[in-house]
Structure 1
């Protein structure tokens, strides 16, 4: 082969290798990385306006209400039992029915006491005759004063014995201490009863008591005559009641005051044992400046509200008063006619542009 051709081929190969080496070691742009960088959002040079809701302040009646949970308790309730021991010989009530005060409900055997009573009553005529005869003799000085006093004492003792037996007989009778509904009986005829044996439960449900506890900060506001309303699960209507008494002191452990109200419960439609959702009206403020609770922004121990001025948000420090479920009273910082921002409050900053989507 011609030397010139040979060296020419070698030269071309050398140039090719040189170009390949330079391309390999020359830094190049990472196309994947560049694409990712191009996809990142660029910060706008101008602030973006925040879409918010707003409300124009209008003075209105604000009612402070307290919501607590209570329970319905009977006006009176007692476990019925005999005052003496004996075998039950009669039960005179039907379970779950209304009974009246003094009605005979049950009785234990009193045959021995009845026999004692008859024996003592049989002695009465003779004892009374002795006193009569001794008195007549005393008038004629035929007997001593002491003899007359002796027969009088015997008659008085006989009277006392009779009353004692009659009292024992009364103890064998179980009578209703008040009007009410008698519950399920726990014994049967023939059972032996003692003073610890519960025969049934008697409950007075007309009226009913509404018992509940209020935090100590409200204790001075709850007084006799305070009106309230309550709701019972399963009933669509609410019921009105009036406080008639409060406990004499604050509970040391719960720091609450126990309160009782009275509900007439005419017809006995409600039963004791129900839980009651109670609503108490504390005070009413006319022409109050009140705003939605969500408009309040707590910050560094203070409360602030953002108001709308010339298209931007401006923070204002406020002093709050009473709270309800949905609103907060503003004592200082706002006035009627101010437009407050009620949404996006955590994103708002001073002089941030805002666009009002909805205004109340």
Structure 2
């Protein structure tokens, strides 16, 4: 009896488990069928109509700034510094005194040399008068003249030594950080201070040899840099083109001159350079946010009718080839035609053939030269 009861219990459990499993399989099968037949709700999108624009034709490059005149002022001879006549970071004019070395010995020697020059001059005048009356021989007059020239040369030599120890600005410009101290003995060639003429300033950049025919002297250039206030662009002019092409890189060096009255540009700064060519180029443009970027190919989503008899809209993925990007826009080299409507934002949420609803009330304003407030 006990055995029969156990068997009946096991059979009952098996039946219950089978019923539960069957119900679960039926539930899962029903859910799969519903998922296959279900259609997601339309996605709300913003749109933009591809249009032709004329963009400035530019040759872009990376440049480096260089002072029109720039040197590190150094000592010509060894000597002790007795005076420093400049403030670091100040402006100086041509000939302004920067550093005075000890010239006490040379000053004393100069007084002696000037006295010798004066004596030789008096002797020459006397000899000239006596030669006129035939009191002295002509050779005595020649000796007196030679002695005067020797004395003058000796005095000039001492003055040159004093000038070498009197260090002056070779040209006007902006001084840098002082590298010497009062009382210090500096040696020949030792750096004293950097001096840079900042207005105007040069920008040097390289372009490939195939772009050389596009650039001419006098063409305008525009500079931008993260070292300038946001949105500021500085203009200049192409002033020099190297006559030779670098044999290794096949690039040619070009130099432009830029006004720099406020000295915002400094030598050594990295800048973005754009040479403005005289002719504008026609391009087909869409917002850069309309492009779904991918390693294999970039694409956009075109707005099309959902089908015959339907008033709805759907999207079709279209592969495109991109050109230059400027501001909020990107040029389309191939894959689109003027007037075609593309989804302008949120393309990463879409798939080919998906239903959409157009709502451009929240569409952003696309600009060719945007100036973000937080940039």
TM-score (norm 2): 0.67
Work out the CA distance in 1 between the residues paired with 2:99 and 2:289: 64
Q: Does structure 1 residue 44 correspond to structure 2 residue 36?
A: yes
1:100-179 → structure 2 map (5 Å cutoff): 100-128=93-121, 129-130=123-124, 133=127, 137=131, 143=137, 152-179=145-172
Cα distance per residue 1:296-323 (max 9 Å; x no partner): 5678976655433332545556554433
Q: State which structure, 1 or 2, has the greater radius of gyration over its C-alpha atoms.
A: 1
SS at structure 2 position matched to 1:28: helix
- Which deviates the most, 213-222 or 95-104? 213-222
CA separation in 2, counterparts of 1:14 and 1:177?
Answer: 119
Q: Relative to structure 1, is the Cα distance of residues 238 and 346 closer, same or farther in structure 2, using a 3 angstrom cutoff?
A: same
Q: 1:327 aligns with which of 326, 329, 345?
A: 329
Aligned to 2:259: 264
Q: What is the CA–CA distance in structure 1 between the aligned matches of 2:342 and 2:330, rounded to whole Å?
A: 13
Query: Hey, what does 2:19 align to over in structure 1?
Result: 29
Q: Distance in 2 between matches of 1:189 and 1:332?
A: 70
* Match of residue 80, structure 1, among 73, 79, 84: 73
Change (3 A) 1:251 1:33: farther
Superposition deviation, residue 155 in structure 1: 3.9
Secondary structure class of the residue paired with 2:81: strand
Matched, 1:89 2:82: yes
- 1:171 CA drift (Å): 0.9
Which residue is 2:174 aligned to?
A: 181
Judge conservation of contact 2:127–2:140 (CA < 8 Å) in 1.
no
Query: In structure 2, how many angstroms separate the alpha carbons of the residues matched to 1:106 and 1:305?
Result: 67
Distance 2:115 2:253 in 1: 58
C-alpha distance in 1 between matches for 2:154 and 2:93:
31
Comparing 323-332 and 213-222, the one that deviates more: 213-222
Unpaired segments ≥5 residues, structure 1:
1-9
Q: What per-residue deviation string (whole Å, max 9, x for no partner) do you get for residues 117-142 of structure 1?
A: 33333333554444873797599798
8 Å Cα contact 2:302/2:342 also seen in 1: yes
Contact 1:105 1:175 in 2 (8 A): yes
Segment drifting more, 288-297 vs 275-284: 275-284
Alpha-carbon offset, residue 355 of structure 1 = 2.2
Determine which of 283, 304, 309 is the counterpart of 1:309: 304
Matched residue SS, 1:272: coil
Aligned partners of 2:30 and 2:267: how far apart in 1?
A: 66
Q: Distance in 1 between matches of 2:62 and 2:81?
A: 43
In terms of mean alpha carbon deviation, does 162-171 or 289-298 score higher? 289-298
TM-score calculated relative to the size of structure 1: 0.69
CA displacement, residues 213-269 of structure 1 (integer Å, 9 cap, x when unaligned): 567489646665432143555845614231445684777899877665544333x46
Q: How does 1:1-20 map to 2 (within 5 A)?
A: none
Determine if contact 1:134/1:148 at 8 Å carries over to the other structure: yes
Counterpart mapping for 1:63-74 below 5 A:
63=56, 74=67
Q: Is the 8 A contact 1:88 1:106 kept in 2?
A: yes
> In 1, Cα distance between the equivalents of 2:119 and 2:3?
161
- 1:64–1:322 contact (8 Å) kept in structure 2: no
Tell me the C-alpha RMSD between the 2 structures: 4.7
- In the alignment, structure 1 residue 355 sits paired with structure 2 residue 356: yes
* Equivalent position SS for 1:55: strand
Q: Deviations over 1:98-119 (max 9, x none)?
A: 3221122332222322333333
SS at match of 2:359: strand
Determine the C-alpha separation between the residues in 2 that align with 1:341 and 1:244. Answer: 42
Output one character per residue of 1:63-97: Cα deviation in whole Å (capped at 9) or x when no partner. Answer: 56788776665544433333222222333334443
1:339 aligns with 341
CA distance in 1, matches of 2:145, 2:75: 35
